[in-house]
Amino acid sequence: MRRSIVAANWKLNGNLEMAKSLVTVIDAHSNGLEGVDTVICPPFPYLSYVGGLMSASNVHLGAQSIAEYESGAYTGEVSAEMVAEVGCRYAIVGHSERREYYGETDAIVAAKFSRIQAAGLIPILCVGESLDQREQGVMQDTIVRQVNAVAAEANISNMQNAVLAYEPIWAIGTGETASPEQAQEVHEIIRSEIAKQSTDIAEGLRILYGGSVKANNAVELFSQPDIDGGLIGGASLDAEQFNAIVAAGSL
């Protein structure tokens, strides 16, 4: 049985005071919960501080992004090795905001995925379609292309040490949420695509849903057969909301 993951993506939010109050409550709540891992991904300046607040064995630190380079003259970039050194276990890659606002192509995402794994971290690979792509009937083609771009670069065997996250772009920060049936449909597509190359890896692959998960819809979403938790944005900034979502992942 796949172990659930609920990951908090703080994006460009927070300060030291918020981090202390939020992480302390989340860590205490997550401690001892069976069957679920909690991942907290704060902005880069707070990684060490947040990591120092964690004590529960099932609460882990994650980075929101990393560079596709190990080192070099890349002003403003942060390497996977750097975030690993300050305690990260996970790193998000391919988030729709990185693809849209910072021009991250499938090739860049694949390169970052490999860098994350080379540093001994677990990538949380995001894939997803826009509203236009869904309405034009190319949702499946888009998802499959994004998954296979990474599988081809990194080798399918490396998918067994990764997490995927489906984030319908049209449901991020909009208050819209894919129905459990819509989300399950895409998660099944992703698992089936991986299964074409390895049924064992596909069966063990944890796939998160990342489209406006809230406390009031988490249980229904996470009860779907191919949904193994969530990548949480706005709701991760509210301890009560986020803890309710983590609790749903433990059911």
Tell me the domain boundaries of the chain. 4-249
**179 or 79: which leads in pLDDT:** 79
How crowded is residue 203: how many other Cβ atoms within 10 Å of its Cβ? 11
Is residue 189 within 8 Å of residue 144, measured between CB atoms?
yes
User: To the nearest whole number, what is the mean pLDDT of the chain?
Assistant: 94
Structure tokens at 42: 């704060």
Tens digit of each residue's pLDDT (9 = 90 or more) over 11-55: 999 999 999 999 999 999 999 899 999 999 999 999 999 999 999
Length of the chain equals 251
Is residue 127 within 8 Å of residue 94, measured between CB atoms?
yes
Q: What is the CA radius of gyration of the chain?
A: 17
Residue of 29, 95, 104, 187 marked active site: 95
Provide mean pLDDT across the span 219-230. 97
Active site residue 203: no
The pairs formed by 107-111 with CB atoms below 8 angstroms and a separation of 24 or more are 107/149, 107/153, 108/68, 109/146, 109/149, 109/150, 110/149, 110/150, 110/152, 110/153, 110/154, 111/68, 111/153
Provide mean pLDDT across the span 219-229. 97
Is residue 146 within 8 Å of residue 162, measured between CB atoms?
no
Tens digit of each residue's pLDDT (9 = 90 or more) over 15-24: 999 999 999 9
Residue of 29, 97, 167, 187 marked active site: 167
pLDDT confidence of residue 142: 94
**110 or 1: which leads in pLDDT:** 110
pTM assigned to the model = 0.96
Active site residue 81: no
Among the CATH numbers 3.20.20.70, 3.30.70.20, 3.40.50.300, 3.30.530.20, which is that of 4-249? 3.20.20.70
pLDDT confidence of residue 64: 98
Mode of pairing for the β-strands spanning 88-93 and 36-41: unpaired
Provide mean pLDDT across the span 187-203. 96
**61 or 137: which leads in pLDDT:** 61
For residue 179, which of 214, 208, 217, 141 has the smallest C-alpha distance? 217
Q: What is the rounded CA–CA span in Å between residue 11 and residue 228?
A: 22
Tens digit of each residue's pLDDT (9 = 90 or more) over 139-177: 999 999 999 999 988 888 899 999 999 999 887 766 666
Q: What is the rounded CA–CA span in Å between residue 133 and residue 155?
A: 27
pLDDT confidence of residue 162: 97
Is residue 171 within 8 Å of residue 128, measured between CB atoms?
no
pLDDT confidence tier of residue 102, bands split at 50, 70 and 90: very high
Provide mean pLDDT across the span 218-238. 96
